[in-house]
């Protein structure tokens, strides 16, 4: 151990008590003896899928357990003290002073009832690091450094008055304000659009370099962490898989699992040429929400061809999901029309026939809230069979089993409840439910966004296989260009309610680009060192979300 090693974690064990119904409480270990070292001014990346224990380890560096989580063993040395053996009072003195935290969702982590400035300087003032006026000055200079607009006055606003990307930077300012020795960044850019992520990432990286703090950077996206970290630890199910320099992990991964993470998103899909007869044709649709006075969609026209995939990409607020609402009839358009299977669809849901409803199904981003938690998998998948085809009893059960086979889950899942499934399994059940109606078109709204990369890959492969077998068309809404590359036949790029660029995948993704498409494409983190600087250097515009 060198003199500069000021964070030293030894054999850290963390767990929680579970209370299974009808059984005595039992202890479940989440992190099984992890050790790491961090020098001053260095950044350590913790990477892994959900459930790997990354956030739990990050919070343990502050002596904190979220929910019922408890640190059960090991040592965490900070500045020569084992913080786990300290009293609650000593821990409070550490938190917000020597170690600070930046969470995934700054929007939820700011108190909605208090002004931003008050929250940013709270810890500094509380721990007596700075006087109120000094802290405010420092906050303003941090706002400026992090590229926030109007650094002098933005602190006077309430959290709901600034955008998500701005809040994320304000939270970084909040973490840096008390001049800590260590900042724990917990997925600080995951909830942001790629086009916003890149700016926040740059701001964080520069702030770390300028202030010389050490940082733990937690993320599930290896390409992101490669841009900021000096060292990377790969975690899986609470255990260390691989630990080394960023260069070694990216360029020469030793472990099988790390290699899988590095090469994720390797699906390829041969583009199919458009047919003469589109299955769905959206023509000059303009739409706005009730009670508002601005259009969310302007003159949108796109086609989906039978058995093919149209990917709709864009950042949040670009109108992607609104387009889905118009197509499904949830939001009648102000202008324009929609043709489907050679007939004109009624603009309202009430005016559509059962056949219209059956042939057009939907899968959502949040699989867990799209299912009734009190229904079993069998009931959930069986419902459309009964509703559209009148299947009952043994016949229905047989078909449910076939569908479970199709989504690569056995009939052992028939009597399970959604809460007993993993995120990927839940999404598969939603896919089976959509398939049960034998639709011609499925609208997929960000169906892989909430999933870990490897799980998301599995879902995309499944969707592609199903398309081959059942000849179903997809309208695939996503903000993720990598997903688009993997599965699309044609692409519509949306920006501020307009279709910015539309055509076959190969055409849309080849230069020359318009400025927005260029920004969108270049903002997707690439698995290579120095990518961030390169992009910032060469891009032509910045996101509207900034």
Partner 1 sequence: MHPVVILIAQRIALGVLLLFATSILIFVGTLILPGDVAQAILGQSATPQSLANLREEMGLNDPAWQRYFQWLRGVLQGDLGSSLSNQRDIATQIGARLGNTLFLAFWAALVAVPLAIFLGLLAVRYRDRWPDKLISGFTLASISLPEFFLGYVLIYFFAVKWRWFPSVSTIYDSMSFWQKLDAIVLPAAVLTLVILAHMMRMTRAAILNVMQSAYVETAELKGLTTFDVIRKHAFPNAIAPVVNVVMLNLAYLVVGVVVVEVVFVYPGMGQYLVDHVSKRDVPVVQACGLIFAAVYIGLNMIADIVSILANPRLRHPR
* Minimum CB–partner distance for residue 104 and partner 1 (Å): 9
DSSP state of 255: S
C-alpha 67/C-alpha 88 separation (Å) is 17
The dihedral region occupied by 226, where left means phi > 0, alpha psi between -120 and 50, and beta the remainder, is alpha
Q: Which is nearer to partner 1, 130 or 474 (CB)?
A: 130
Closest to partner 1 by CB, 126 vs 528, is 126
Measured from the CB atom, the residue of 107 and 529 that comes closer to partner 1 is: 107
Q: How far is the CB of 125 from partner 1 (least distance, A)?
A: 10
Mutual angle of helices 116-126 and 164-176, in 10-degree steps? 20
Q: Specify the residue, 24 or 67, whose C-beta has the smaller distance to partner 1.
A: 67
Q: CB of 243: closest distance to partner 1 in angstroms?
A: 26
CA–CA separation, 313 and 476 (whole Å): 8
Q: Which is nearer to partner 1, 191 or 460 (CB)?
A: 191
Q: Residue numbers of the site for partner 1 (CB under 8 A)? A: 62, 64, 66, 91-97, 100-101, 103, 105, 108-114, 119, 122-123, 126-127, 157-158, 160-161
CB of 99 to partner 1, least distance (A): 8
Instruction: List all residues 6 or more positions away from 199 whose beta carbon is below 8 Å from its beta carbon.
Output: 147, 165, 542, 543, 546
Q: How far is the CB of 27 from partner 1 (least distance, A)?
A: 19
Looking at the Cβ atoms of 196 and 328, the one nearer to partner 1 is 196
CB 77 to partner 1: min, Å: 19
Cβ neighbours, 10 Å, residue 383:
17
Whose Cβ is closer to partner 1: residue 56's or residue 119's? 119
Tell me how far CA of residue 40 lies from CA of 43, 186, 213, 537, in angstroms: 9, 19, 6, 28
Residue 379, SS3 per DSSP? helix
Task: With CA atoms as reference, report the closest residue to 12 among 84, 96, 79, 95.
Answer: 84
- Calpha distance 110→173 (Å, rounded): 12
The least distance separating partner 1 from the CB of residue 377, rounded to whole angstroms, comes to 29
The nearer residue to partner 1, 92 or 358, going by C-beta atoms, is 92
Q: Alpha-carbon distance 286 to 332, whole Å?
A: 10
Q: Which is nearer to partner 1, 6 or 101 (CB)?
A: 101
- Name the residue nearer to partner 1 (CB basis): 111 or 465: 111
Residue 12, beta-bridge partner list: 34
Closer residue to partner 1 in complex, CB, 114/528: 114
Judge contact between 439 and 385, C-beta under 8 A. Answer: no
Q: Alpha-carbon distance 445 to 479, whole Å?
A: 10
Residue from 379, 337, 381, 384 nearest 360 by CA: 384
Q: How far is it, in rounded angstroms, from Cα 108 to Cα 86? A: 30
Shortest spacing between CB 32 and partner 1, in angstroms: 24
**Rg of the chain (C-alpha set):** 25
CB-nearer residue toward partner 1: 62 or 477: 62
With contact defined as beta carbons under 8 Å apart, do 26 and 198 qualify? Answer: no
Least separation in angstroms between residue 350's CB and partner 1 is: 31
Considering the complex, what minimum distance in angstroms separates the CB of residue 194 from partner 1?
Answer: 23
3-state secondary structure 47-80: ECCCCCCHHHHHHHCCCCCCCCEEEEEEEEEECC
Q: How many CB atoms lie within 10 A of CB 344?
A: 11
- Give the β-pairing of 335-340 and 441-445: unpaired
When the beta carbons of 109 and 283 are compared against partner 1, the nearer one is: 109
CB 462 within 8 A of CB 442: no
CB of 135 to partner 1, least distance (A): 13
Nearest distance, CB of residue 170 and partner 1, angstroms: 12
DSSP3 helix / strand / coil % (the chain, rounded to 5):
40, 25, 35
Q: How far is the CB of 351 from partner 1 (least distance, A)?
A: 35
d(CA 82, CA 57): 15
Q: What is the rounded CA–CA span in Å between residue 436 and residue 471?
A: 14
Using DSSP's 3-state secondary structure scheme, residue 141 falls into helix
To partner 1, the closest distance from the beta carbon of 108 in angstroms equals 4
Q: Which is nearer to partner 1, 98 or 406 (CB)?
A: 98
């Amino acid at each position: 151990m060198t003199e500069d090693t000021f964070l030293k974690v030894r054999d850290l064990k963390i767990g929680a008590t579970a209370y299974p119904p009808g059984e005595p409480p039992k202890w479940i270990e989440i992190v099984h003896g992890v050790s790491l070292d961090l020098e001053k001014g260095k950044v350590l990346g913790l990477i892994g899928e959900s459930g790997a224990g990354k956030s739990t380890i990050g919070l343990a560096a502050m002596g904190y357990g979220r929910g019922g989580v408890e640190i059960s063993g090991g040592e965490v040395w900070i500045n020569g003290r084992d913080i786990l053996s300290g009293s609650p009072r000593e821990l409070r003195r550490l938190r917000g002073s020597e170690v600070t935290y930046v969470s995934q969702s700054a929007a939820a982590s700011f108190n909605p009832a208090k002004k931003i400035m008050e929250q940013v300087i709270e810890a500094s003032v509380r721990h007596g690091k700075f006087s109120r006026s000094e802290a405010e000055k420092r906050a303003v200079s941090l706002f400026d450094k992090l590229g926030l607009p109007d650094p002098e006055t933005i602190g006077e606003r309430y959290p709901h008055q600034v955008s998500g990307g701005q809040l994320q930077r304000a939270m970084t300012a909040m973490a840096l304000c008390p001049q800590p020795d260590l900042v724990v960044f917990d997925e600080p850019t995951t909830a942001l659009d790629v086009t916003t992520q890149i700016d926040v990432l740059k701001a964080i990286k520069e702030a770390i370099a300028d202030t010389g703090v050490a940082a733990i950077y937690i993320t599930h996206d290896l390409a992101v962490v490669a841009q900021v970290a000096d060292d990377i630890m790969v975690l899986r199910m609470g255990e260390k898989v691989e630990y080394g320099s960023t260069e070694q992990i990216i360029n020469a991964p030793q472990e099988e699992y790390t290699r899988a993470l590095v090469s994720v998103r390797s699906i390829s899909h041969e583009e199919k040429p458009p047919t003469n007869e589109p299955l769905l044709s959206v023509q000059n649709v303009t739409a706005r929400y009730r009670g508002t006075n601005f259009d969310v969609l302007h003159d949108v026209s796109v086609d989906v061809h039978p058995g093919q995939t149209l990917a709709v990409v864009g950042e949040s607020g670009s109108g992607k999901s609104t387009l889905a609402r118009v197509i499904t009839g949830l939001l009648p358009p102000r202008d324009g029309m929609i043709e489907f299977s050679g007939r004109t669809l009624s603009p309202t849901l009430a005016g559509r026939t059962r056949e219209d409803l059956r042939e057009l199904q939907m899968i959502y981003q949040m699989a867990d809230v799209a299912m009734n938690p009190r229904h079993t998998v069998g009931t959930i998948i069986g419902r459309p069979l009964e509703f559209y085809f009148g299947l009952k009893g043994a016949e229905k059960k047989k078909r449910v089993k076939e569908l479970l086979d199709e989504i690569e889950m056995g009939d052992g899942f028939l009597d399970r409840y959604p809460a007993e499934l993993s995120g990927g399994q839940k999404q598969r059940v939603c896919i089976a439910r959509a398939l049960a109606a034998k639709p011609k078109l499925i609208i997929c709204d960000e169906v892989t966004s909430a999933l870990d990369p490897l799980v998301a890959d599995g879902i995309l492969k499944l969707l592609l296989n199903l398309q081959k077998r059942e000849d179903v068309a997809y309208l695939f809404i996503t903000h993720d260009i990598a997903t688009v590359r993997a599965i699309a036949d044609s692409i519509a790029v949306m920006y501020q309610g307009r279709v910015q660029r539309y055509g076959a995948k190969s055409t849309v993704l080849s230069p020359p680009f318009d400025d927005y498409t260029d920004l969108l494409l270049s903002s997707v983190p690439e698995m290579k060192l120095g990518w961030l600087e390169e992009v910032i250097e060469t891009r032509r515009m910045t996101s509207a979300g900034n």
